[in-house]
Structure 1
Amino acid sequence: MTLLELNRAHLQDCIAIDADSPHPWGESHWARSLRDDHCLGLCLDSHLLAVSAYSLVFDELSLLNIVVADNQKGRGYGQALLEQGLEWMQQFGPARCILEVRVSNLAARRLYKRLGFGEDGLRKNYYPLGTGREDAMLMSVNLPLEY
């Protein structure tokens, strides 16, 4: 598996991988992130398996999104992408990584905890749902990570 820095040429790939997620980003969101943020992909034999997007402001890194293709879930690709992505982002000197995750996304929360992220609090009614809103769990980890 290889880590790939994504660019605008990967827009349709990002949209396709994200399409089956419960709350996909729209095309304009991916286009903006590919233009303004750090987007990374995990590839196997030139086939994109998972994508992620990070924003860096001064020394604080934010994980904006991480998505594994539906037909590739459960194989450890999310963890591999997150580990490699955080390692790759070290070149920019972040002191910590923060993220928000839906409180209902237990698999993602377990993954983040496995990698050393701690729960920092709740952001009430942060995510829209079909009807109503859902809280976000705020999580962070100091960098660099030590595995």
Structure 2
Amino acid sequence: MADIRPLELNDLASLHQLQLQCFDPPWSEEMLRARLVHPRSLSLGIFTGGQLHGFVLLSHLLDEAEVLEIGVAPQYQRAGLARQLLQHALQQLAKLGIERLMLEVRASNLPALGLYRALGFVEDGRRTGYYPTATGHEDAVLMSLRPGS
């Protein structure tokens, strides 16, 4: 059974190691530390047997929030952990009075786009050529959701 809870500073080493598996380039350990202690941050981890398998880092201000990063260990991808993290985050954001959750995702990340659409996110627009790739650039798809709706 997976356990979702807020990430704490004592989770920093595990978060950093998992983040290295999920992103290129990864955030530095200092950037992650700053996010964990930021007063307008919601950082959640999903654990099994005490081991971190996924995380979501969000920032919120007034009545809006943004998904900064979401990652799941490669061996646990496509097992519903990202969905569980986002659903839990949406509940927490609604309690904070957040009226809109935004994110951006690579246009080529079809599994993530499918998940976001299944959760009710809608496409708001695109940032053309936003993400660098080995062969050039690709678009960022901008999406949002109203947590209470």
For the criterion TM > 0.5, the same-fold answer is yes
User: Could you say what the CA RMSD is over the residues aligned between the two structures, in angstroms?
Assistant: 1.6
1:60 is matched with which residue? 64
Q: 1:84 aligns with which of 81, 88, 98?
A: 88
1:29 is matched with which residue? 31
Matched residue SS, 2:75: helix
* 1:139 Cα deviation from its structure 2 partner: 0.2
1:38 is matched with which residue? 42
* 1:35 Cα deviation from its structure 2 partner: 2.3
CA distance in 1, matches of 2:121, 2:25: 24
* 1:122 Cα deviation from its structure 2 partner: 0.2
Could you tell which deviates more after superposition, 28-37 or 97-106?
28-37
CA distance in 2, matches of 1:24, 1:14: 15
**Structure 1 gap ranges (5+):** none
Q: 1:48 to 1:65 in 2, by over 3 A?
A: same
Q: Deviation above 6 Å: which 4+ runs of structure 1? A: none
Count residues in correspondence: 145
* 1:143 Cα deviation from its structure 2 partner: 1.8
1:128 is matched with which residue? 132
Letter in 1 for 2:11: H
Q: 1:8 to 1:130 in 2, by over 3 A?
A: farther
CA distance in 1, matches of 2:96, 2:25: 28
Identity %: 33
TM-score, normalisation: structure 1: 0.90
Q: 1:109 aligns with which of 113, 125, 129?
A: 113
Letter in 2 for 1:140: S
* 1:40 Cα deviation from its structure 2 partner: 0.5
Letter in 2 for 1:14: L
Letter in 1 for 2:129: N
* 1:69 Cα deviation from its structure 2 partner: 0.9
Letter in 2 for 1:30: L
Letter in 2 for 1:40: L
Q: Does structure 1 conserve the Cα–Cα contact (< 8 Å) formed by 2:91 and 2:147?
A: no
Q: Does structure 1 conserve the Cα–Cα contact (< 8 Å) formed by 2:93 and 2:147?
A: no
Q: Does structure 2 conserve the Cα–Cα contact (< 8 Å) formed by 1:55 and 1:62?
A: yes
Q: Does structure 1 conserve the Cα–Cα contact (< 8 Å) formed by 2:98 and 2:147?
A: yes
Matched residue SS, 1:123: strand
1:51 is matched with which residue? 55
Q: 1:70 aligns with which of 69, 74, 93?
A: 74
TM-score, normalisation: structure 2: 0.88
